[in-house]
Amino acid sequence: MYRRETQEAKRIARDRIEALFNMAASLAGEGKDELSRRYVALARRIGMKVDIPVGHRMDYCRKCNSYMLPSRNCRVRVTRGRKIIACLNCGRISRFPYRRREGRED
């Protein structure tokens, strides 16, 4: 009984995180940055109990909670096996490992 309840709670938390990130993305696209930051902050708070999905880990600035939109409020560069994302609001620089996909011939 307890295990099923915790799994259900985790599923609800993941769904809410997904919904909050989707709302933050749409609001950031419209230019409503403050509300977008609030949604990202709420998603991060829920994410303290449940992991934030992998697809959304690079979508926000960990310092100012801004939802990142390339060429609008962040700069993205790929050099020497790294993806470098610079937030243009607060100046934080995030570096992530980057590898080309196997099997591609360019």
Domain that holds residue 59: 2-97
pLDDT value, residue 4: 78
CA–CA dist 38, 67 (Å, integer): 10
Tell whether 103 is covered by a domain. Answer: no
Cα dihedral angle (29, 33, 34, 37), rounded to 10 degrees?
A: 80
Cβ-contact 60, 39 below 8 angstroms? no
What total number of domains does the chain contain? 1
Q: Decide: pTM greater than 0.85.
A: no
Tell me if 80 is assigned to some domain: yes
* In-domain check, residue 66: yes
Mean pLDDT by 10 residues, the chain (106 residues): 81 95 95 95 94 90 94 93 94 89 63
Q: Is residue 41 part of a domain?
A: yes
